[in-house]
């Protein structure tokens, strides 16, 4: 077996800090941890909070639509909805035409919780981007949104490899 010369392989492997996926994943993990810390005293996980905010943004979504908006799989959405329903934040209503479809609507308690917790996420966003000017932050947000929108369009067109 031939030993691979470590120096000959290294130039072929770019540093992790040049990988967009690595950087975005790291940023997402750090921001999720900060949000988790902020939400813990309220008894919400970031996942349940994301689902709550998606419903607050568009009341009456189906569970499938909630999954699409939050980038969560069906089982995770169902667990979050079960949790929010048990807390009295949301209610499920079956569709008249297709009883398999459930629409999720906010209760007054859910609206109140969404309003109370929206500021927590803003604080995390602000502290995470504290070294950016307001124009840099807006540009960063626009760029990330463009990438996400592009990838969603690629997935919706059945092209999962980004080409």
pLDDT at res. 17: 85
**Which distant-in-sequence residues (6+ apart) come within 8 Å of 72 by Cβ?**
47, 50, 51, 66, 80
pLDDT tens digits, residue range 65-81?
A: 999 999 999 999 999 99
Does the pLDDT value for residue 126 go beyond 90? yes
* pLDDT at residue 122 is higher than 80: yes
The predicted model gives 119-143 an average pLDDT of: 95
What six digits make up the tokens of 67? 């999954």
**pLDDT value for 4:** 59
User: 17-128 in CATH: which number?
Assistant: 1.10.10.10
> Domain boundaries in the chain?
17-128, 130-163
Rounded CA separation 84/100 (Å): 20
Phi, psi of 80 (to 5 degrees): -65, -40
Greater confidence (12 vs 144) lies with 144
């Amino acid at each position: 077996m031939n030993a691979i010369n470590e120096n000959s392989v290294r130039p072929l492997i770019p540093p992790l800090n040049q990988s967009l996926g690595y950087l975005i994943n790291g940023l997402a993990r750090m921001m999720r941890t900060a949000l988790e810390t902020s939400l813990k005293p309220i008894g919400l996980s970031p996942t349940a909070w994301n689902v709550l905010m998606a419903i607050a943004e568009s009341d009456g979504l189906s569970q499938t639509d909630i999954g699409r908006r939050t980038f969560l799989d069906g089982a995770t959405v169902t667990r979050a909805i079960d949790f929010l329903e048990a807390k009295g934040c949301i209610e499920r209503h079956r569709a008249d035409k297709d009883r398999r479809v459930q629409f999720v609507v906010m209760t007054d308690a859910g609206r109140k919780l969404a309003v109370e917790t929206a500021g927590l996420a803003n604080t995390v966003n602000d502290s995470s981007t504290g070294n950016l000017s307001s124009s840099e932050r807006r540009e960063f947000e626009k760029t990330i949104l463009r990438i996400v929108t592009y990838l969603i369009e690629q997935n919706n067109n059945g092209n999962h490899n980004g080409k």
